[in-house]
Amino acid sequence: MQKVALIVAGGKGERMNTDIPKQFLLLNGTPILIHTLKQFSHFEEIVLVLPHSQFDYWQELCITYNFTQKHTLVPGGTTRFYSVKNGLEKIDENSVIAIHDGVRPLISTKLIDSLITETKSGVGIIPIVPVKDSIRKVEGENSVHLDRSNLYKVQTPQCFLSTDIKEAYTQEFSDTFTDDASVFEANGGEITTLLGEEKNLKITTKEDLTIANEFMQ
């Protein structure tokens, strides 16, 4: 069964206050998205989902930074759900798929491979990290403390057998879908978890980029 990475990168850089989409910002001198794809270089196939309007710019970056890793470009949809759905249509049935955020460039190959190894029929697996901050639930003017001991932040890649996740993405879109695991669960799938990595952060703000650069040192 071949291993396929489905990388989703549809950011616009709005929270960065920049005209450059966040996946193309430089991390340690190289675009974030190039770092991300390199972590999956040992996979048989990489499918990269980008807004069609960014194709030319991405290809220029590949030339500028001499990035020659083979990958398939797929145009994104109106939401992440439809972007993943578009990417899945390009992947063969007999595959194990790792769906990953394009702006999580610091994922280790060790974690990637551990997730792939644990993926099985009818069961998806996702990386999680414990919540360290105090958590409160706010309702109107009132708030209550929540026990954080069983609360975790969800990361990517989220891994599934191709037949399972393709079937899940035949569902109609719902606002309750926050990630691939929630789509899979809504279709009757089971989700298991594996301890993720603190450095596998999603770069969405300038502060995130600063932290990521520190991890690269």
1 token code pair: 């069964």
pLDDT digits 0-9 by tens, 81-102: 999 999 999 998 899 999 999 9
Q: Which residues pair with 123 in a beta bridge?
A: 120, 190
Among 25, 159, 184, 214, smallest CA distance to 102 is for: 25
Quote the pLDDT of residue 204: 92
pLDDT-derived band at 17 (thresholds 50, 70, 90) equals low
Residue 89 belongs to domain spanning: 2-216
CB atoms within 10 A of CB 145: 9
Note the pTM of the prediction, 2 decimals: 0.94
* Residue 130: strand pairing partners: 152
φ, ψ of residue 122 to 5 degrees: the values are 80, 0
Q: How many helices (H) and strands (E) does the chain have?
A: 7, 12
DSSP per residue, 35-47? HHHHTTTTSSEEE
pLDDT at 5 over 90: yes
| Tens digit of each residue's pLDDT (9 = 90 or more) over 25-37 | 999 999 999 999 9
- Count how many domains the chain has: 1
Give the CATH number for residue 195: 3.90.550.10
